[in-house]
Amino acid sequence: MSIKTVSTQPFLDQKPGTSGLRKSVQVFQKPHYLENFIQSIFDSLENLQGQTLVLGGDGRYYNRQAIQTILKMAAANGVGRILVGCNGILSTPAASCVIRGNGAYGGIILSASHNPGGVDGDFGVKYNISNGGPAPEKVTEAIFARTQVIDQYQILESADINLDHIGSFKLGTMEVEVIDPVKPYLELMESLFDFDLLHKCLTSGNFTMCMDSLHAVTGPYAKAIFENRLGAPEGTVINGEPLEDFGGGHPDPNLVYAKTLVDKLFGDNAPDFGAASDGDGDRNMILGRKFFVNPSDSLAILTANAHLVPGYKDGLKGVARSMPTSGAVDRVAEKLGIDCYETPTGWKFFGNLLDAEKVTLCGEESFGTGSNHVREKDGLWAVLFWLNIVAARGESVEQIVKSHWQEYGRNFYSRHDYEEVASDGAKALVDHVYSQFDNLKGKQFGQYIVAYADDFSYTDPVDGSVSKNQGLRIGFTDGSRIIFRLSGTGTKGATLRVYLESYEADVSKHDLDTQVALKELIDIAEEIAQIKKFTNRDQPTVIT
């Protein structure tokens, strides 16, 4: 075996987004494309020699090939040891768990999260730091800067490693340990939740659930936890085999793409509880019988009921939410007497708050919730948290949510996604909205009066770093909001997200359909942004 130095030229499109570098598989398969980005990661890390890294992915197409390349490049670059998931599998929260549990220097996670997979799908690479969380902007900026000038990379010439069996191997001078991807994560979950109570609930014969893994990474985790450890009947986990193309589906746990689960929960003889997770296992959707839990409400309800869960029974230090997430959790935090932080979208912004012990729980409206147990959002953790609350309270999902609304009021909330719209049109829409900001304050739209209009900026309370241009906000005097934001997670065209929120204290109005309750705000958003004109769409691709 020998180290080969390969000459290369920069690719100018390797700027990481909020969750790493995401491109189509065909882009990553270009000669030197993956290698350039991996070498740029290695070149940007200080004191990498002899360190331990964690490596794995969500099982999508190109996952195995990329792992073999990264292993050989790591060996050539002096990495001391790599822990890689068996079969190349590691969910994103499990990767964070393994990084933290082994005191690793960092980790490389291969995933495009909820984006479609397969030969014609997407692929992604993300670097996580030693706390187990996504690399902060100063690290991703250094990686990007290196991609712009890179002229060579190093790779070990050797045979591929057998990823299908747990064991230890040598690759040059580097140790490679193929590990059980599920065991450390399962042990962490056992330390947080009342597994005896959950086992009793799931084997009582009086409670049924369905967990849809969407043929993505959480299948093996869900089967090990729910069916094997907690005793739920075989078949409780559906679509549980990770497939390279996610079975031709879209591994995004929402009401549109998790149709099989939604049909079950809203059909005849529905189970009591339903949940879905995404491609890499960090997102979740929670359903009761014929009842959908909005992710913003979910964060608020987990916060209000955390004392029922062993791992959080001593109270929360604080909570955090992304800016577009509804203010439902803010009122819970106020009642509990704890701080509530509003951050930009992107899980990395929660990392500093968690490390500084300013918060315990955090979440975002895009079906992501998590806590200080890892430094990523965590889909199965959220499912277990909900099950623990349901079992402890002895109430249905719907009863728990409606009881919460009765106590705190309801934040009617919805996100309208316009996916794969022309980038020029999406940018023109944002520019059009922004151009009106000087004249919007005090302007009346029906019953709503504009209190402020701004482009959200965040100053990190831990390190003082400033993140600007994080989303256009239009706030009204009654606390309602309309937010416009272009997503950074897609690979084709642009995704425009429009967030709508209106608070309602009157219990008699809590059963209104969300889109009906928000109809006036939806019309105002169209009036201000001219969405149909700029996107050339009559309606959103997805409404949640």
Q: What CATH number is given to the structural domain containing 151?
A: 3.40.120.10
By CB neighbour count within 10 A (0-12 exposed, 13-18 middle, 19+ buried), where does 206 fall? exposed
Are residue 266 and residue 173 in the same domain, yes or no? Answer: no
Q: Give one DSSP letter per residue of 132-162, joined into a string.
A: SSBPPHHHHHHHHHHHTT--EEEEEE-PPP-
Q: Are 129 and 257 in contact (CB under 8 A)?
A: no
Tens of pLDDT, residues 469-497:
999 999 999 999 999 999 755 556 789 99
pLDDT confidence of residue 280 = 95
Q: Give one DSSP letter per residue of 416-450, joined into a string.
A: EEEEEE-HHHHHHHHHHHHHTHHHHTT-EETTEEE
Last residue of a domain, one of 376, 408, 440: 408
* Cα 91 from chain centroid (whole Å): 11
Are residue 22 and residue 161 in the same domain, yes or no? Answer: yes
Q: Supply the range of the domain harboring residue 479.
A: 410-543
pLDDT confidence of residue 137 = 85
Rounded to two decimals, the pTM is 0.93
pLDDT confidence of residue 489 = 52
Residues 6+ apart with CB under 8 A from 451: 441, 475, 476, 477
Are residue 253 and residue 169 in the same domain, yes or no? Answer: no
Are residue 339 and residue 486 in the same domain, yes or no? Answer: no
Are residue 210 and residue 331 in the same domain, yes or no? Answer: yes
Last residue of a domain, one of 146, 180, 214: 180
Give the other-Cβ count within 10 Å of 464's Cβ.
7
Tell me the CB-side half-sphere exposure of residue 42, using CA atoms within 13 A.
27
Are residue 509 and residue 431 in the same domain, yes or no? Answer: yes
Reading the chain (544 residues) residue by residue, the pLDDT tens digits are 799 999 999 999 999 987 899 999 999 999 999 999 999 999 999 999 999 999 999 999 999 999 999 999 999 999 999 999 999 999 999 999 999 999 999 999 999 988 999 999 999 999 999 999 999 888 999 999 999 999 999 999 999 999 999 999 999 999 999 999 999 999 999 999 999 999 999 999 999 999 999 999 999 999 999 999 999 999 999 999 999 999 999 999 988 899 999 999 999 999 999 999 999 999 999 999 999 999 999 999 999 999 999 999 999 999 999 999 999 999 999 999 999 999 998 888 899 999 999 999 999 998 999 999 999 999 999 999 999 999 999 999 999 999 999 999 999 999 999 999 999 999 999 999 999 999 999 999 999 999 999 999 999 999 998 999 999 999 999 999 999 999 755 556 789 999 999 999 999 999 999 999 999 999 999 999 999 999 999 999 989 8
- Tokens representing 157? 């010439």
The type of residue at 238 is I
pLDDT confidence of residue 539 = 94
Q: What is the mean pLDDT of the chain?
A: 95
The type of residue at 29 is Q
Are residue 140 and residue 218 in the same domain, yes or no? Answer: no
pLDDT confidence of residue 41 = 98
H-run or E-run covering 464: none
Are residue 338 and residue 485 in the same domain, yes or no? Answer: no
Phi, psi of 385 (to 5 degrees): -60, -45
H-run or E-run covering 63: helix 63-76
Dist CA 264 CA 210 (whole Å):
8
Q: Are 8 and 32 in contact (CB under 8 A)?
A: yes
The number of distinct structural domains making up the chain is 3
DSSP code of residue 181: S
pLDDT confidence of residue 193 = 98
Dist CA 492 CA 86 (whole Å):
31
Q: Are 470 and 344 in contact (CB under 8 A)?
A: yes
Are residue 360 and residue 485 in the same domain, yes or no? Answer: no
Are residue 386 and residue 420 in the same domain, yes or no? Answer: no
CA angle 159, 164, 169 (to 5 degrees): 50
Tens of pLDDT, residues 266-300:
999 999 999 999 999 999 999 999 999 999 999 99
Dist CA 109 CA 89 (whole Å):
10
Dist CA 108 CA 40 (whole Å):
13
pLDDT confidence of residue 170 = 95
Are residue 19 and residue 162 in the same domain, yes or no? Answer: yes
Catalytic positions: 113
Last residue of a domain, one of 135, 164, 180: 180
pLDDT confidence of residue 499 = 97
Are residue 204 and residue 298 in the same domain, yes or no? Answer: yes
